[in-house]
C-alpha cells in the first residue's frame, strides 16, 4: 500500500507545482519590473508581445518583440536600440 501511495502523492504534488508555475508566469507577461543587484538601474516594461528595457543610469534602451511559445517560454527579436553593440542584431 505504501508503494502505491508514494508515487501517487509525488505525481499529484508535481502536477500541482507545474500547474502553479505556469500560472505564476502569467504574472510576468505584462507589467513594470526592475532588476535587483548588479543591474538595479535597469527597468523593464512589458506589454503583450513587446518589451522595453531601459537603463536609468546610462539612458540605453532596447525594444524587443517577444514570441511566446507557451507557459514561461519565449523567443525574441530586437526591434530598436541605442546600444552600439546590439545595432547589428536588429531583426
HEC string of the chain equals CHHHHHHHHHHHHHHHHHHHHHHHHHHHCCEEEECCHHHCCEEEEEECCEEEEEECCCCCEEEEEEEEEECCEEEEEEEEECCHHHHHHEC
Domain range for 21 is 2-89
Residue 23 scores a pLDDT above 60: no
pLDDT at position 4 is: 43
Mean per-residue pLDDT, 12-38 = 68
Q: How many domains does the chain have?
A: 1
Per-residue pLDDT reduced to its tens digit, 29-86: 899 998 788 878 899 999 989 999 999 999 999 999 999 888 788 899 999 999 999 8
| pLDDT at site 35 | 78
Amino acid at each position: 500500500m505504501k508503494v502505491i501511495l508514494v508515487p501517487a502523492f509525488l505525481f499529484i504534488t508535481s502536477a500541482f507545482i507545474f500547474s502553479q508555475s505556469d500560472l505564476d508566469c502569467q504574472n510576468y507577461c505584462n507589467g513594470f519590473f526592475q532588476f535587483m543587484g548588479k543591474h538595479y538601474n535597469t527597468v523593464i516594461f512589458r506589454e503583450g508581445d513587446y518589451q522595453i528595457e531601459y537603463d536609468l543610469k546610462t539612458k540605453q534602451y532596447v525594444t524587443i518583440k517577444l514570441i511566446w511559445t507557451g507557459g514561461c517560454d519565449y523567443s525574441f527579436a530586437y526591434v530598436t536600440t541605442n546600444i552600439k553593440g546590439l545595432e547589428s542584431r536588429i531583426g
